[in-house]
Amino acid sequence: MHWYEKLNQYFPIEEMKSREHIELLLEEQSDIYHKDEGPNHVLIYVELDDFVFVDYLFVSKNARGQGLGHKLIEQLKEKGKAIILEVEPINYEDTDSGKRLRFYAREGFKHASTIGYSRRSLATNEVNDMEILYWAPNDETEEQIYDNMKKTYRLIHKYKDEELYGEPFDPVHKVLSRDETREEDILSELT
């Protein structure tokens, strides 16, 4: 099965970029946008000077529980940079959402509780709330994570968006917000 089909079957439509968008990023932004693919995984990530953003991480069902996800995250941690990713909030009707959050908690990720992230899907036109998780080897602050998310959103999510989808994604100031009083930690209840 093609790597895009694996991602498309696993991730909700509102979280997926088009195949054309990902392939364009891999081709035109190959200095920062990377794909690591094996028989049982697909990892697509952005690497900039001071952080890594995981765009997609897929491990096939038959390989789960065998340490493959841990190995892939460890390879990213070896870069010595903050790692940032987006996850959907826990959904008690989707057991995978809780498993994903527990996995990242075990891997030492923190919840960027002060960062709000609501993105309108061009596929469904619905606004989806996501949570930001991060691993901070150099004690990166949530303010730094927020700035890095804004950079990622502009460089990757909005890359040629109007050309690819016929309309632009919302601007960064409508998608990402920071509220120092927001303190809910979605990972604390899982560990």
**Bigger pLDDT: 81 vs 185:** 81
Sign of CA dihedral 22, 126, 61, 1: negative
Q: Which two tokens stand for residue 153?
A: 């959103």
Q: Which two tokens stand for residue 148?
A: 């890095």
Domain, as residue range, for 17: 3-178
Spatial separation of the C-alpha atoms in residues 187 and 170, rounded to whole Å: 28
**Bigger pLDDT: 138 vs 183:** 138
On whether residue 189 sits in a domain, the answer given is: no
Closest CA to 14 of 117, 99, 125: 125
Tell if the pTM clears 0.75, that is, is over it. Answer: yes
Q: What is the mean pLDDT of residues 116-144?
A: 92
Statement: residue 95 has pLDDT above 60: no
On whether residue 46 sits in a domain, the answer given is: yes
CA 40 vs CA 3, 12, 37, 132: distances in Å:
10, 19, 8, 25
Statement: residue 44 has pLDDT above 80: yes
Statement: residue 109 has pLDDT above 80: yes
On whether residue 188 sits in a domain, the answer given is: no
- Structure confidence at residue 162 (pLDDT): 95
Q: What is the mean pLDDT of residues 61-73?
A: 88
Contacts of 168 (CB under 8 A, 6+ apart): 158, 161, 162
Statement: residue 9 has pLDDT above 80: yes
- Kindly report the length of the chain: 191
On whether residue 184 sits in a domain, the answer given is: no
Reported confidence tier of residue 101, pLDDT bands at 50, 70, 90: confident
On whether residue 120 sits in a domain, the answer given is: yes
**Bigger pLDDT: 100 vs 17:** 17
Look at 71-80, 119-128, 152-161 and tell me which has the smallest mean pLDDT.
Answer: 119-128
Closest CA to 127 of 94, 174, 165, 161: 174
- Structure confidence at residue 34 (pLDDT): 98
Query: How many structural domains comprise the chain?
Result: 1
Q: What is the mean pLDDT of residues 116-133?
A: 90
On whether residue 157 sits in a domain, the answer given is: yes
On whether residue 186 sits in a domain, the answer given is: no
CB atoms within 10 A of CB 166: 8
The SS3 assignment for 56 reads: strand
Spatial separation of the C-alpha atoms in residues 93 and 165, rounded to whole Å: 31
Tell me the CATH number at 168.
Answer: 3.40.630.30
On whether residue 140 sits in a domain, the answer given is: yes
Contacts of 58 (CB under 8 A, 6+ apart): 6, 7, 10, 11, 41, 42, 43
